[in-house]
């Protein structure tokens, strides 16, 4: 009996040591990725195939990824915390609904490029074109959590209420990242604007709601955001969650 107990005790010690070593390795690896991702985020960019998935899937998977813009030789990075899906000719709120026009032509190209449009005579919105050529679908990036270059973002934004208001809206984030009409059609494999995976795996709850600021198609549950993230757009729909998804 003593021999069996000694063996069990030894196995417990060995298993604990292995777990400890694996834990240290995992943490060290994540710290390495965290540092090097922000030094060279282009290395961790999402490849073309990511954007060719169906639009609702891309909308959810983009949460936790990082929008990156090279500005004056430095990187501006922000974690994507809120998105909205727009689904071509089945969605009356989508710019591609109806027919191809000079304004929406970019939407009908193959996924993996930027669709930037002008609104209210003053502002721009940044979208990611999805799926295959001819579909006319995209994901609106609604809000970011600043991760690198926050001081530059503040200067580009001008006067802000608080830290959470730098990029908590589609027009705000375009101002903070210096994104405008000249970036419409930009390949997201370029070094100017792209999206990278996070420095480490992150678990969070995705909240699903109706979209903000539209009339047609307003009933569709096509808005996705990281629940309880303080950088999400402040809106009453944050409390009208239709469902939640664990990622």
- Round the average pLDDT of the chain to a whole number and report it: 87
Question: Torsions phi, psi of 72, nearest 5?
Answer: 50, 40
Match 């990281």 to its residue by tokens.
226
Paired strand residues for 130: 137
- The predicted-structure confidence for 27-47, as pLDDT tens digits, reads as follows 433 444 455 577 889 999 999
- Look up the CATH number of domain 45-246: 3.10.300.10
Q: Which residue has the higher pLDDT, 42 or 15?
A: 42
CA–CA distances in Å: residue 188 to residues 1, 48, 126, 200, 242 = 65, 8, 12, 21, 31
CB hemisphere CA count around 93 (13 angstroms): 21
pLDDT over 70 percentage in the chain: 85
According to the model, what pLDDT value does residue 247 have?
Answer: 81
Mean pLDDT value of segment 73-84: 97
- The predicted-structure confidence for 90-109, as pLDDT tens digits, reads as follows 999 999 998 899 999 999 99
Give the C-alpha separation, 2 to 109, whole Å. Answer: 72
Give the C-alpha separation, 32 to 42, whole Å. Answer: 16
According to the model, what pLDDT value does residue 9 have?
Answer: 47
Considering only CA atoms, which of 83, 84, 81 is closest in space to residue 64? 81
According to the model, what pLDDT value does residue 152 have?
Answer: 97
On the 0-12 / 13-18 / 19+ scale of CB atoms within 10 A, 13 is exposed
Q: Which residue has the higher pLDDT, 95 or 11?
A: 95
């Amino acid at each position: 009996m003593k021999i069996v107990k000694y063996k069990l005790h030894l196995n417990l010690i060995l298993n604990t040591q292995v777990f400890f070593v694996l834990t240290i390795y995992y943490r060290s690896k994540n710290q390495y990725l965290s540092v090097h991702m922000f030094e060279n985020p282009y290395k961790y960019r999402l490849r073309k195939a990511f954007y060719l998935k169906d639009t609702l899937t891309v909308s959810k998977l983009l949460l936790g990824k990082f929008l990156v813009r090279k500005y004056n030789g430095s990187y501006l990075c922000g974690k994507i915390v809120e998105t909205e899906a727009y689904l071509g000719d089945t969605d009356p709120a989508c710019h591609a609904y109806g027919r191809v026009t000079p304004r929406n032509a970019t939407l009908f190209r193959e996924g993996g490029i930027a669709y930037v449009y002008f609104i209210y005579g003053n502002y721009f919105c940044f979208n990611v074109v999805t799926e295959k050529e001819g579909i006319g679908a995209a994901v609106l990036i609604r809000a970011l959590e600043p991760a690198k270059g926050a001081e530059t973002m503040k200067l580009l934004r001008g006067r802000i209420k608080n830290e959470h208001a730098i990029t908590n809206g589609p027009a705000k984030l375009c101002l903070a990242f210096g994104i405008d009409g000249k970036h419409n059609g930009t390949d997201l494999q370029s070094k100017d604007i792209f999206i990278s995976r996070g420095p480490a795996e992150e678990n969070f709850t995705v909240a699903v709601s109706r979209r903000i600021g539209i009339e047609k198609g307003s009933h569709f549950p096509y808005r996705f955001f990281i629940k309880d993230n303080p950088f999400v757009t402040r809106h009453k729909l944050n409390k009208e969650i239709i469902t939640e998804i664990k990622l």
